[in-house]
Amino acid sequence: MAKVTEQAVREALATVQDEERGGDVISLGMISGLAIREGNVAFAIEVTPEEGPRKEGLRRACEKAVLGVPGVTSVTAVLTAERPAERPGAASGAGKGPAAARPQAAGKPALEGVKHIIAVASGKGGVGKSTTSVNLAIALAGLGQKVGLLDADIYGPSLPRMMGITGKPTSPDGKTLLPMENYGIKCMSIGFLIEEDTPMIWRGPMVISALEQMLRDVAWAPLDILVVDMPPGTGDAQLTLAQRTPLAGAVIVSTPQDIALLDARKGLAMFRRVDVPVLGIIENMSYFTCPHCGERSDIFGHGGARETAEKLGCDFLGEIPLAMPIRETSDAGHPITVSQPDSPHAGAYRAIAEEITEKLNAGAGAPKGPRIVIE
């Protein structure tokens, strides 16, 4: 089969005219985030929020044109209403002491009706970031707060499975999506909106636009806390997301090995770069409790996160053991915090949730210190 090249796709798109703007979509610079994986092509068409509703025809025309390119088997084109980009707030974050949360990050439009947004991040995938996000969200709700959970892990959305939610969100007014709900948590995930076999080739600006829509075009309010399960890693997409979301703070999930590999430190550095306070580090899969004899083994070595947190001047929020019931319950859609709320594992999540809540409340309304911006 013919290999699909970027040039061939661009040439096909150059035949599509936007009558309203008077030109083709390539010359007008409307295409972004073009990604090609074998025969699957994805891209975004950048329009203004006002134009959005009128551009469905243009979107279809773009898809049709690209489908005509030899070798192309599927096309995903999305309209994105880009908001003006901000400059990264390069700030004097490094070396700051333990962070107190702030109500909203400076300069970013707040989400109306949402008191605090926190990010749950990790230096790499597979450390249990989603499991932690889900259990933390439920534990935070258990403290009497209204909680939302946004699955921004666009590369491997696991919220639908872990929260036991199926089906698609609806939009009665055609503008705002209603979040899905289970265990008292309002949830949104790209996993609800795409078919499971849709190729995950969204990258760069497309990822950001999709996430911004999930943040701003979903009826979240009223919420006390919105937990954002970030995409794993510390690349451009993560940095931009951290920079554009009005985050009150970030929590970094790490395994003991991951600490040794410095991945968690990269996460810390990323948030500091964009002036988001790090609320602390959670050590996941910290130790193993034998289900038969109850003996605790520190199979990966233990305590690395606490030491690293101390060294880097950020707080240590707690440790979660490597435990079969944590895996089984979250993978089956009944996280341990709802299915076994009296277990010590649920207690560990609850203790972390209490500490996070305290920090958020302590930070709310606190006067901001001076901020040095390096131009």
Give the residues lining the site for ligand ADP (CB under 6 A): 122, 125-131, 158, 232, 284-285, 320, 322-323, 326-327, 330-331
Q: What Cα–Cα distance (Å) separates residue 304 from each residue in 61, 74, 124, 261?
A: 54, 46, 17, 11
User: Cβ closer to ligand ADP: 176 or 297?
Assistant: 297
The CB-of-158 to ligand ADP minimum distance in angstroms stands at 5
DSSP track, 323-363: -HHHHHHHHTT--HHHHSTTSHHHHHHHHHHHHHHHHHHHH
User: Cβ closer to ligand ADP: 27 or 297?
Assistant: 297
- Token pair recorded at residue 162: 């872990």
User: Cβ closer to ligand ADP: 61 or 251?
Assistant: 251
- Token pair recorded at residue 70: 């030899």
DSSP track, 212-234: HHHHHSB---SEEEEEEEPPSS-
Cα 197 to the center of its chain, rounded Å:
21
User: 248 and 119 in contact (C-beta within 8 Å)?
Assistant: no
User: Cβ closer to ligand ADP: 30 or 121?
Assistant: 121
Q: Residues 322, 328, 329, 331: is their CA dihedral positive or negative?
A: positive
User: 35 and 203 in contact (C-beta within 8 Å)?
Assistant: yes
Amino acid at 305: A
The CB-of-253 to ligand ADP minimum distance in angstroms stands at 7
User: Cβ closer to ligand ADP: 16 or 353?
Assistant: 353
User: Cβ closer to ligand ADP: 189 or 284?
Assistant: 284
Residue 274: closest CA among 252, 249, 251:
249
The CB-of-286 to ligand ADP minimum distance in angstroms stands at 8
The CB-of-288 to ligand ADP minimum distance in angstroms stands at 9
User: Cβ closer to ligand ADP: 216 or 327?
Assistant: 327
The CB-of-8 to ligand ADP minimum distance in angstroms stands at 35
The CB-of-220 to ligand ADP minimum distance in angstroms stands at 21
The greatest distance separating any two alpha carbons of the chain, rounded to the nearest whole angstrom, comes to: 74
SS (H, E, C) 101-142: CCCCCCCCCCCCCEEEEEEEECCCCCCCHHHHHHHHHHHHHH
User: 83 and 92 in contact (C-beta within 8 Å)?
Assistant: no
Task: DSSP letter for 69, please.
Answer: S
The CB-of-210 to ligand ADP minimum distance in angstroms stands at 18
The CB-of-191 to ligand ADP minimum distance in angstroms stands at 12
Residue 253: closest CA among 261, 263, 245, 244:
263
The CB-of-67 to ligand ADP minimum distance in angstroms stands at 33
Backbone phi, then psi, for 124, in 5-degree steps? -155, 175
Q: What Cα–Cα distance (Å) separates residue 16 from each residue in 68, 81, 189, 193?
A: 12, 19, 32, 27
User: Cβ closer to ligand ADP: 327 or 334?
Assistant: 327
User: Cβ closer to ligand ADP: 61 or 252?
Assistant: 252
The CB-of-160 to ligand ADP minimum distance in angstroms stands at 12
Nearest residue to the partner ligand ADP, using Cβ: 128
User: Cβ closer to ligand ADP: 233 or 363?
Assistant: 233
- Token pair recorded at residue 210: 């999709």
